[in-house]
Amino acid sequence: MSEINDTKNVKDNEIDLLDLFRRMGRAIGRMSRAIGKAVLISIVFLFRRWLPLTLSIFMGIGAAYILKLTSASFYTSDLILRTNSGHASDMIAYINRLHRYCEEKNFTALADAVSLNDKQVRNITDIRAFWIIDRGNDGIPDEVDFNENTSVYDTVNVRMRDRFDIRVQLKQPQELVQVKNGLIKYIYSDSLFQQLNRIRLRHNMELLARFENDILLLDSLQKVKYFEETRSRMPQTGDQMIFLQEQKTQLVYTDIYALYARKQAVETEQEIYKDIVTVLSEFSIPTQRVNGGRYYAIRVVPIIFGLTLLILLILANKKKLREVYQKYQI
């Protein structure tokens, strides 16, 4: 009796499962037909109203051109710096204080920070620092994270720790040299960065002295080993010599060359990267304004097109909208 009930339950479960798949198939079919119908209705609607929609696009282009003529121009340029003392995150946070001054239009604080006069500061509309991204973590910079969408936890596309980008936005680009000098002076005026750089240079000098000492010691060891190996040779008949121990002088050469390579790397850093930051890429004077016709068209045309489409939809469904309004009117 129990076997019959178990068999019946299994059959019922199988029937329920088949019915479930059948219902899912019907639901997917209805959804597909509804989407296809909606797409077809939308296409027909757009074709029937092509004239006002086309006019809205031309209106958007005309509005963008008017905005270009009536708006004040602004330009952008980028300065890439290598941070020799500290992490790039500290420098970025420090530079972005100037970004807050620009947002708040605190021209007095901005002028004091970058050592510019009031007229030069009012020419600046924004100063902001961004991370430089290394795609693939191969040590080669690939792009600047202007949109700030790279996660700090990303281990493949990483933020470079030793360099960053400063983007300056100005009304007139002719004063970029003064802005660059003001930014460098602003960075050098920080006492923490100064102290970190002094400590780094002192450590490098101590490391160079240690390298010199170690190279001398290895050179002396090499000479000692040479004479020991020479004494270990026993003369035989004629001009032939035999060796009683294995020669290992070549190992000392390897250590000496490794120390020389490390010493040269530190000397290069002392000479080339001796300051708090090093300019890797200078500001370039832009030839075209950022807020040109395309800049406004990308923003204005979709807005006017969307408003026109919304008005056409309301006009096409005004009877239904009136009925809904009357139905739910209090």
**Mean pLDDT calculated for residue range 226-235:** 52
* 18 band by pLDDT with thresholds 50, 70 and 90: confident
* 73 band by pLDDT with thresholds 50, 70 and 90: confident
Using a pLDDT cut of 90, give the percent of the chain over it. 42
| Chain segment 92-123, per-residue pLDDT in tens | 999 999 999 999 999 999 999 999 999 999 99
- C-beta neighbour count of 158 within 10 angstroms: 20
Question: What secondary structure does DSSP assign to 299-315, as a single string?
Answer: HHHHHHHHHHHHHHHHH
| CATH T-level assignment (fold) for domain 75-196 | Alpha-Beta Plaits (3.30.70)
Going from the C-alpha of 236 to that of each of 102, 122, 239, 314, the distances in angstroms are: 88, 91, 7, 113
Q: What is the mean pLDDT of the chain?
A: 84
What backbone phi and psi angles, to 5 degrees, belong to 88? -60, -30
| Chain segment 292-330, per-residue pLDDT in tens | 888 889 999 999 999 999 998 888 888 887 887 777 765
| Chain segment 158-190, per-residue pLDDT in tens | 999 999 999 999 998 888 999 999 999 999 999
SS3 content of the chain, % helix, strand, coil (to 5): 65, 15, 20
Identify the CA nearest to 183 among candidates 77, 105, 89. 77
* 235 band by pLDDT with thresholds 50, 70 and 90: low
* 223 band by pLDDT with thresholds 50, 70 and 90: low
**pLDDT at residue 228, rounded to an integer:** 55
* 244 band by pLDDT with thresholds 50, 70 and 90: very low
Angle between helices 191-231 and 249-272 (to 10 degrees): 160
- The owner of tokens 């160079």 is 208
* 195 band by pLDDT with thresholds 50, 70 and 90: very high
CA 77: distance to chain centroid?
Answer: 16
Please tell me which residue, 112 or 151, carries the higher pLDDT value. 112
Q: Where are the beta strands (DSSP E) in the chain?
A: 75-83, 124-135, 143-144, 157-170, 233-235, 241-243, 277-281
Hey, where are the domains in the chain?
1-48, 49-71+294-320, 75-196, 214-275
Among 41-45, 174-178, 204-208, 235-239, the least confident range: 235-239
Going from the C-alpha of 182 to that of each of 86, 95, 113, 124, 294, the distances in angstroms are: 20, 12, 8, 12, 32
Please tell me which residue, 286 or 226, carries the higher pLDDT value. 286
Identify the CA nearest to 296 among candidates 75, 127, 62, 56. 62
